[in-house]
């Protein structure tokens, strides 16, 4: 019984930690917008290199995200943004996005 409680508590802490990580603010550059399908593609900028020379460190591969209706009205390809992402059922959805 004690082992089961400890195992369950550890699993709960792991889930809380991953949910917190998913909401961490990230920075990137918009490479593509599709207002019709509600998707956005963002090239991530590695942490600590936001003010580096263009092309000095390109970061990872561009990622595509779903976006809630109305969040894309003031954004354009090439804009640098700060955003938060949540993942549900394998679908990454932007929960907050701000132009920098």
Query: 3-state DSSP helix/strand/coil percent for the chain, to nearest 5?
Result: 20, 40, 40
> What confidence score (pLDDT) does residue 69 get?
80
> What confidence score (pLDDT) does residue 24 get?
78
Domain residue limits, the chain: 25-99
**β-strand 39-44 against 26-34: which pairing, if any?**
antiparallel
pTM of the predicted model as reported, rounded to 2 decimal places? 0.67
> What confidence score (pLDDT) does residue 91 get?
93
- What is the C-alpha to C-alpha distance for residues 57 and 50, in angstroms, rounded to an integer? 10
**β-strand 91-99 against 26-34: which pairing, if any?**
unpaired
30 neighbors 76 (Cβ within 8 angstroms): yes
CA angle, 85 as apex, 80 and 91 as ends, to 5°?
Answer: 120
> What confidence score (pLDDT) does residue 20 get?
43
Per-residue tens of pLDDT for the chain, all 100 residues: 665 555 455 555 555 444 444 567 899 999 999 999 999 999 998 766 555 555 555 567 899 999 988 899 999 999 999 999 999 999 999 999 999 8
- What is the C-alpha to C-alpha distance for residues 24 and 8, in angstroms, rounded to an integer? 25
Tokens of 27: 């920075």
65 neighbors 93 (Cβ within 8 angstroms): yes
The arrangement of secondary structure in 25-99, i.e. its CATH architecture, is: Beta Barrel (2.40)
């Amino acid at each position: 019984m004690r082992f089961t409680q400890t195992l369950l508590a550890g699993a709960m802490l792991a889930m809380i930690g991953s949910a917190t990580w998913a909401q961490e603010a990230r920075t990137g550059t918009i490479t593509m917008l599709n207002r019709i399908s509600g998707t956005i593609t963002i090239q991530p900028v590695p942490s600590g290199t936001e003010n580096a020379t263009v092309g000095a460190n390109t970061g990872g591969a561009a990622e595509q995200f779903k976006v809630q209706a109305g969040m894309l009205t003031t954004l354009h390809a090439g804009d640098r943004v700060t955003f938060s992402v949540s993942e549900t059922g394998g679908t990454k959805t932007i929960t907050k996005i701000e132009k920098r």
